[in-house]
Amino acid sequence: MQWFVAARLRRRLFFVFAAVIVATAMVASGVTALLGEPGGWRAQQSRVRQFVSSRFADAWTDPPARARLAADIARDLRFGVELRDARGGVLLEQPPPGVVARCGRPWLRAPVRDAAGALAGEVLLCGGPAHWGPGRTGMLVFAVLFVVWRMAGGIARRMARPFDDLVAVVRDLGEGRLDRRVRLGRHRSDEMELLARVINDMAGRIETQLAAQRELLAAVSHELRSPLARVRFLLEAAGDEGATAASRAEAITDVEGELGGIDALVGDLLAGSRLDFNAVRRVGLEAGDVARRAVAHAGLDVGCVDTPAEGIRFDGDATLLGTALANLLANATRHGDGVRAVRVTQRGAVVRFDVEDRGPGIPDDERPRLFDPFFRGARGASGQGAGLGLALVRRIAEAHGGGVWAENIPEGGARVGFSAACAPSAGAVASERA
Ligand SMILES: Nc1ncnc2c1ncn2[C@@H]1O[C@H](COP(=O)(O)OP(=O)(O)OP(=O)(O)O)[C@@H](O)[C@H]1O
Ligand SMILES: [Mg+2]
């Protein structure tokens, strides 16, 4: 297939160039003919015939004068000259200077007539540099066509070669060899380089994304395995004949806890894949509502939400923003000894969500990597988390045109938060409420 496409492209380029060259040659020769002498070389030939006929008619009956005239023509015009009588018998052969040969196929036959108009003989002109018979014309046409064919073929091959490389690389990428890159040789052009760069960038991105997804899948499988094993163990223990009602109730609570963890992990994965597919659904929101809903969903007291009375309206994806807040609230509960406050503020064109906790704060050396995928710090290392919560918060914030931060509060505890671009859209809020 690749060979076929490349060959077809080469063939088309070849025909285009050949046609352009031939058309140019035809136009050039047409213009030359138009600007040149009318009648071309046939008219010239007939004038030469007339001249030769009349000059020899004068000298025909005087053989020495006739021979001199033939010698003059052969010398000055560089033609072979042959004189024949009326019956075709050869009277004289005068080869062109430097050539000792019979007159072959004549370029011109000029009849010679006597004073009464009767045919007295014939003059044949042949050979010589001015001679341009059909054989030579054929050779010239052949030579021109050969040059055109070689030139058009060369140009077509030169232009099509980078395409061959591109097609080969794209085909390999399609077959899963994601480390393949386009390397243009010396036949590069600006357009080709641009195309090659775009393909290489695309291949690089796909390779990185697939590697990240493979890593994520491995981590998630690993993270799911331990809670599932614990659930199985708890269920077996609860089903044991000797289990008491109290131990069964405790097992059920533990199973609920494990299932909650699995649910949170799956929720994070779903949110991540929505971001991967750019499936962010923006609607008009009120920031205080978003925060209160997340706090209530986390089973906390909505009284901890601090938000301006006039409200902050912005466009965002309610589910994703809820997931981001849920992750911050879960961290504050798990790593920060409980939520102290959730603050919603507007600063310029962004809305900020801060979750403050009562914990020991975040060690300075952890802060630069806090939002990296799979990072777990001192407080999270012993827990069940995968280290994906804050990475997802960052992706959600970036999808909303915002950013993330983590700092320690002087009075104690950590403040971790994110922002979202706040383009007020009263219409969207109205339509959501309608
Ligand atoms: N409020 C906090 N106080 C102290 N440390 C924190 C706080 N929030 C996060 N961290 C630290 O940052 C690390 C990364 O947090 P992240 O939410 O990304 O992962 P996780 O909570 O460990 O796991 P997951 O969220 O995937 O269940 C945590 O392991 C913890 O060490
Ligand atoms: Mg977390």
Name the closest ligand to CA 383: 1
270 and 286 housed in the same domain: no
Distance CA 228, CA 221 (A): 10
Contact 293, 323 (CB under 8 A): no
Contact 356, 332 (CB under 8 A): yes
288 and 234 housed in the same domain: no
- Domain containing 41 equals 37-132
406 or 46, higher pLDDT: 406
CB 376 less than 6 A from any atom of ligand 1: yes
Gap from CA of 390 to ligand 2 centroid (Å)? 6
250 and 302 housed in the same domain: no
311 and 388 housed in the same domain: yes
CB 377 less than 6 A from any atom of ligand 1: yes
Q: What's the domain count of the chain?
A: 3
Contact 339, 415 (CB under 8 A): no
pLDDT in tens, 245-302: 898 999 999 999 889 888 888 888 888 888 888 888 999 999 999 999 999 999 999 9
Gap from CA of 401 to ligand 1 centroid (Å)? 23
Asked if residue 10 belongs to a domain, the reply is no
Gap from CA of 376 to ligand 1 centroid (Å)? 6
Distance CA 77, CA 30 (A): 28
Which residue owns the Cα nearest ligand 1 atom 24? 385
222 and 352 housed in the same domain: no
Asked if residue 144 belongs to a domain, the reply is no
Q: Which amino acid is at 260?
A: G
Global confidence as pTM: 0.58
CB 414 less than 6 A from any atom of ligand 1: yes
CB 387 less than 6 A from any atom of ligand 1: yes
From the alpha carbon of 377, which atom of ligand 1 is closest?
31
pLDDT in tens, 183-205: 877 666 778 888 889 999 999 99
CA atoms lying within 13 Å on the CB side of residue 328: 31
CB 386 less than 6 A from any atom of ligand 1: yes
286 and 423 housed in the same domain: yes
Domain boundary among the residues 261, 278, 295 is at 278
pLDDT at 6: 61
Domain boundary among the residues 243, 263, 278 is at 278
CB 357 less than 6 A from any atom of ligand 1: yes
Q: How confident is the model at residue 222 (pLDDT cuts 50, 70, 90)?
A: confident
Domain boundary among the residues 91, 108, 132 is at 132
230 and 347 housed in the same domain: no
Name the closest ligand to CA 380: 1
